[in-house]
Amino acid sequence: MSIAALTVYVLVWPVIVAAILVVICVGFYKEWRSAKNEGRRII
């Protein structure tokens, strides 16, 4: 494997993890806002 390919492979992982974290946070925020509007607890 070339150095450039290995570098790209290593640098892609933080981007993937950040994208997954954003998806989880957006989902949690929507659920929290929905629960707040309905007057119920999220937990």
**What residues make up the domain containing 18?**
1-43
Structure confidence at residue 42 (pLDDT): 86
Mean pLDDT taken over the chain: 94
Please give the tally of structural domains in the chain: 1
* Distance from C-alpha of 3 to C-alpha of 14, rounded to nearest angstrom: 18
Range list of H helices, 1-43: 3-38
Percent of the chain with pLDDT over 90: 91
Q: Is residue 1 over pLDDT 80?
A: no
